[in-house]
Structure 1
């Protein structure tokens, strides 16, 4: 009887342990579910509170490999500019609006939101601007921090400059030359140096290529083919200003203040007339020099033939 009683006691003790273990497991499971529900409710509450800042689905993954650029998400720039608030606009033009923004690391930036992305040449213009500015390294040039692309947005991010503009940074003659080259690249959609042009002509430099087309009165051939519609007079003005900026003599290049005026048509005609005179004189001198070299080469070949004949005797 005692053995049976002891066996019953052990069995009862094991049953109690099983019940306790099962209850503890169920309790822990219920507690985990409760914590998960609370966490989900908390997340949903804050998501609804900030539902204006959302990620854009299907961001464009086109890779731009020019320079070291940071790729921003749409949400980052929404937060930085307070959802592109009108109160943060610091600039506006035909290409879009520029907003002041503060990134999560407290860096102040100028966010350029391009307009008319779907217009002819809009994507090409964005690609060129990123490619050109991302590889431009100069102490006085405005550096591109990064960019953002979505299915419907193209955005560029620059350092924020308190009470300053790009014109302020472009003061030195070297910057004026670079500005002229950039204008030519934007108008033509071509690179400043392109070896592929050797297949059709001698000019590798974009500058020489454009001068050649101008001499042949082929202004329309200068313009980027992606620009279906454009004002011919405006293109002519831009090209003339760009060529004045890329004068081979630094002393002959205009100041940025003068460039701004010439783009508005002030003082451009007089300066362009002088440039054409100097260019014609340089071309004439070059033609004379080339003809002299040709005559010298002919004389040299004749002398060489005479020497060979005399040796043969």
Structure 2
């Protein structure tokens, strides 16, 4: 075992060396590290969100607010709503692999650097809600892959650069509430917002300054020439013919509507949504699929293609016309209010959250009677399915992959809780909702219960939903969910990875009274950790890592949410930093009472039995 781990460690180290070397200068300095440190130095960081950025680091991918690609290149820089001030360094232009820059709702001032035009892979640039001044850089036109440009609510002056008209893939450009002037270029963006610019939208302005500034209609040059004599003679004839044909057309239309109504009663009609039908889901960066296309891709939603079933719908495996394999979630009861809320929540939430450990929404389909979401297909299924002895001939997850699954899930939840604005609470963290891509990288799926929060809110009160065995005590008792609700669910997920069993099925599977958490606590007190490990691992696991993972799980599942760690702390403990101190502190402090938990039972199973709330045990949405 030690020999294999040693060989694996050497292999990982060699891989990191190869990747790191690609971004090193001859003097051994990582260009991306230098660029990020220059950005940090130019900003004032009162919350110390960049305190772990270190110039001596070789790999910046573990830094807060930094996201990397699989080859360890920096792909996203997200520091929204962090009270940052200072200026934006021109060194940002050296991060050549950046795809997303989100610095909205801070107090950054000064000009927007021309170096931004060097980011050829950039798709999203959000500098809104700051204090940027000066003219918009003409180099914005060099960002050929740009989709979203938000520069609203700043103090920018001058004209919108004509070079932006050369960017063909723009979906949204928002330069509202600045001090811009001059002529406006003709942009490809479907949405172009300019409201709040006095020099563009003053009383004498000819510009259309509504929130959505569409491309103006054009008419033939001679359409309105004066042809009074000829037109007057033709007018009476036109009125007479129009009246006759209008009456006939009206009769035909009434008959057609009657036939259509009778036909619709016997057969469900499907049609694709357009901009006017449902403006809430007009998200230009997501691909729109027709119902016919998705029905063909799933072989008419054949039962053989079902990947999983959930409380809000069924997920099918599908193959598009171009051969791409996808997962299609077909929401049930789409005409029901709850189904509509589910659809809008998931579309809005997933489109906001972009991270390598979060499931990416590719597109959607909306008709009068259908709501469908399209995701990338996860070839290795869900963690829950892979924890079984075998599934379709695939082996179970080994210990190393289980540990990496825990790390990847923690990184995804950390992004939702602390790096996304508004922050997102998942509310149903469990093995069935963690998917594995082709490289066995953990991907957090199922945002059906996600709750969007403003970053100033600490919790939200709502109806209790989730999966029995994963629901935090305070959520059961008060209906209040917070980030700590997800931390509790993550702790149960760690126990599922260790034991190989579903928390909700534990009592039946292990022939034990109570739930998994109570049983693990008992074995931990007795020092019998080996008895809780999945037998499918055949004793092939690291004993030290087992002890550490159990301790992290128990810290995450403390009844008092105030004593549970944040996901950033959880990730550091899983990586071997600060666990000993946190564990010792938790053992020396008597558990105080929490509002709503004045009489906490000693066992989680007792707490569930005493809860007066109705808990819905649901396998929710998301490809399995």
**CA RMSD in angstroms, aligned pairs only:** 4.4
Task: Find the counterpart in structure 2 of residue 165 from structure 1.
Answer: 382
1:277 CA displacement = 6.6
CA contact (8 A) 1:113 1:156 kept: yes
User: How far did residue 179 of structure 1 move?
Assistant: 6.5
- Cα displacement (A) at 1:183: 2.2
2:278 is equivalent to residue 62 of structure 1: yes
Pair 1:237 & 2:465 matched: no
1:214-293 equivalences under 5 Å are: 222-223=461-462, 237=471, 239=475, 243-246=484-487, 254=491, 256-258=493-495, 261=502, 266-267=516-517, 271=554, 272-276=557-561, 278=563
What is the match of residue 191 of structure 1? 452
Give the number of aligned pairs: 200
Deviation at 1:153, TM superposition (A): 0.7
| Distance in structure 1 (CA, Å) of the matches to 2:467 and 2:318 | 37
Aligned to 1:175: 412
Match of 1:130 among 344, 347, 355: 347
Which ranges of structure 2 fall in alignment gaps of 5 or more residues? 1-267, 387-403, 418-423, 429-446, 506-514, 522-553, 565-585, 593-624
Distance 2:317 2:466 in 1: 34
| Partner SS for 1:176 | helix
- Does residue 340 of structure 2 align to residue 79 of structure 1? no
8 Å CA contact 1:97, 1:113 repeated in 2 = yes
3-state SS in 2 of match to 1:152: coil
Q: Residue 360 of structure 2: which of 143, 148, 153 is its match?
A: 143
Seen in structure 2, the aligned counterparts of structure 1 residues 70 and 263 have a Cα distance that, compared at 3 Å, is: farther
1:190 positional shift: 4.9
**SS of structure 2 residue aligned to 1:143:** coil
Contiguous gaps of at least 5 residues in structure 1: 1-53, 195-203, 211-221, 225-229, 285-313
**Does the 8 Å CA contact 1:113/1:155 hold for their aligned counterparts?**
yes
Can you list the C-alpha shifts for 1:33-62, whole angstroms capped at 9, x where unaligned? xxxxxxxxxxxxxxxxxxxxx982363632
Deviates more, 1:98-107 or 1:258-267: 258-267
Counterpart in 1 of 2:322? 105
Q: Quick one: structure 1 residues 274 and 90, their matched pair in 2 at CA, closer, same or farther if it must change by over 3 Å? A: closer
Secondary structure of 2:454's counterpart equals coil
Question: What is the CA deviation profile of residues 38-97 of structure 1, one whole-angstrom value per residue up to 9, with x for unaligned ones?
Answer: xxxxxxxxxxxxxxxx98236363232558211111111011111111221121222211
Matches of 2:352 and 2:302, distance apart in 1: 31
Partners of 1:124 and 1:182 in 2: CA distance: 16
Higher relative contact order structure (alpha carbons within 8 Å, sequence separation ≥ 6): 1
- Structure number with the higher helix fraction is 1
Q: Work out the CA distance in 2 between the residues paired with 1:113 and 1:188.
A: 16
Offset at residue 100 of structure 1 (A): 0.9
Structure 1 residue 120 displacement after superposition: 4.4
Q: 1:108 Cα shift?
A: 0.6
Q: Distance in 2 between matches of 1:133 and 1:231?
A: 19
TM-score, with structure 2 as normaliser: 0.27
Secondary structure at 2:278 match in 1: coil
TM-score scaled by structure 1? 0.50
- Deviation for aligned residue 1:274: 4.9
Q: Secondary structure at the match of 1:237?
A: coil
